[in-house]
Amino acid sequence: MGILELEWIGLVITGLGTLFLFGEILVNARGIFGLLGVGFMTIYFTVYMEPSSLGLIIAIYIIGIILIIIDGKVVNDGTLATLGAASMLLAVGIAADNVFAGLYAVIGVILGGGASFLFLKAFKQRDMWSKLALKDQLTKELGYISMNQDYEQLIGKNGVTLNDLRPVGTVRIEGQDYSAVTNGQWVTRDTNITVVQVDGTKILVEEVTE
């Protein structure tokens, strides 16, 4: 029995193939990882697949990789990446001779994909992932700043309590409901209040006295 006929060898081949393919996507390896990944996966598919269905299975696998790249570069919400990973797992599973060999191959893809992130510790991350991370960070910061500015405009405005503030509760100011807190005092429901201070998203109110 040759080594390629062993059921568990699919785990090694698909693991290494996925490791280097994902590594090429994550870090700038100048195409070396990509060539290694393509080489391992070519060996896997050509050994286990019949020529008549080889093209279709490879197409499913490649589509999976493309979906992952599109998700990371354009959409960035995880949906296409999930579909892409499912396509890759389906392709390697179908290509195997039997259920056990297919299971080994699927495990190899999972392990290889997870291990590929170790390359980030030794190689330079691709610019597109850095830009996405920076964009996401800036979006969150701008959103937080915008929220703070909206809340700061509430200072000096009057409203009414929707429940007892003990000292935290809900108030309604100009038709909008907000979570608010008093300076330790308990304020009963349906009491007129005014906003005296805003700290981030924390709204400090006090009872309006006649």
Could you give the percent of the chain with pLDDT greater than 70?
85
Q: pTM higher than 0.85 for the full model?
A: no
Q: Mapping DSSP to helix (H, G, I), strand (E, B) and coil, where does residue 4 land?
A: helix
Greatest Cα pair distance, the chain, in angstroms, is: 95
Query: Residue 59 is encoded by which pair of tokens?
Result: 């197409």
Domain ranges for the chain: 3-134, 153-207
Q: Which of 58-67, 127-136, 146-155 has the highest mean pLDDT?
A: 58-67
Q: What is the average pLDDT across 153-163?
A: 93
Please, what CATH class does the domain formed by 153-207 belong to?
A: mainly beta
Q: How far apart are CA 109 and CA 151, in angstroms?
A: 48
Please name which of 45, 43, 65, 42 lies closest in space to residue 54, comparing C-alpha atoms. 45
- Say how far apart CA 32 and CA 36 lie, in whole Å: 6
Top pLDDT among 82 and 74 is at 82
pLDDT digits (tens, 9 = 90+) for 18-58: 999 988 888 888 889 989 999 999 999 888 777 777 888 88
Give the CA-trace dihedral at 163, 168, 173, 178, to 10 degrees: -110
